[in-house]
Structure 1
């Protein structure tokens, strides 16, 4: 009986590995193209007054970014950022055709998310005072910004994966 159970377990192992590989593959593609959808969708929103005004407090309070409002209007900067974000999403989406182009898009996304995460330190209202401040995040803007930590991780992964494949292809 014990021998029969051991045999059955060994026969089931390859099926489990195959299933886990399929699930991992679906997750990998969903991860990459979810990043494409999120960055592209948010980029398209940058062409609206609603979104331009929504990012104003982040940009205006950032030592890295506030200078742009001296060069461009709030709507003008938002539209410029929208073009960049849509371009980044298209570059990342190009992975099946050009891993090198996708790696570039991912590298740009890494820079973008590092910038937005810097807003955690510069935007008023990130830390919820009624809960004692840091580390209690406010719903907006704190929780809104912290999601970019996951997007940064996804961008780093897509960068590494596309870079590795582009090096193999030469």
Structure 2
């Protein structure tokens, strides 16, 4: 009985060990789907308006906007809300123009990462860009006050209590890890040639 279990376990280990290439390609496909979807959403006004706190508070990106933080707080819109005055402020702020440019960049990175399946040098560039982008996104945990639950009297606020915005950002740790694996795999394939 024990020998049979060991044999089954060894078969499982061999199967798991042979799945590495599939897993790496699935990481590429997952990043493609996430980046195309998220990048595509950047063309919708509600998404553009939603990223304003991140961009406005970022020392690396705030220069893309014409207005400075914290002025945006007066012009926040709920997802799907129609308010001509607030939307005019966002037009003047370059909220929509920046978001669309960011969307194109994000989708392009996703495509480069995916193309790494076929072209390791392209995949290397895509993975490197994905790493830089996710590090930029993770910097929002430090620069954006809206990622932490505010003190509204419940006694539950601040670190480590993430808001919806913070939970959106923290998922990039998994993308960062995946992109690092892809960078390494692309580099190994390039070195083998």
Shorter-chain-normalised TM-score: which range? Answer: 0.7 to 0.9
Q: Structure 2 regions of 5+ residues with no counterpart?
A: 68-92
Alignment of structure 1 residues 114-153 onto 2, 5 Å: 114-128=135-149, 129=151, 130-138=155-163, 140-153=164-177
CA distance in 2, matches of 1:5, 1:141: 51
CA distance in 1, matches of 2:170, 2:53: 16
Counterpart position of 1:90: 111
Counterpart position of 1:30: 26
Q: Structure 1 regions of 5+ residues with no counterpart?
A: none
Contact 2:43/2:103, CA 8 A, preserved across alignment:
yes
> TM-score, with normalisation over the residues of structure 2?
0.76
Counterpart position of 2:89: none
Superposition CA RMSD, Å:
2.2
Instruction: Decide whether aligned partners of structure 1 residues 168 and 26 sit closer, same or farther in structure 2, where only a CA change above 3 A counts.
Output: closer
> Structure 1 segments of 4 or more deviating over 6 A?
none
Partner-residue secondary structure (3-state), 2:171: helix
CA distance in 1, matches of 2:135, 2:42: 19
CA distance in 2, matches of 1:48, 1:148: 21
Larger helix percent: 1
How far residue 69 of structure 1 moved from its aligned partner, in angstroms, is 1.1
> TM-score, with normalisation over the residues of structure 1?
0.85
Moved more, 55-64 or 12-21: 12-21
CA distance in 1, matches of 2:95, 2:6: 63
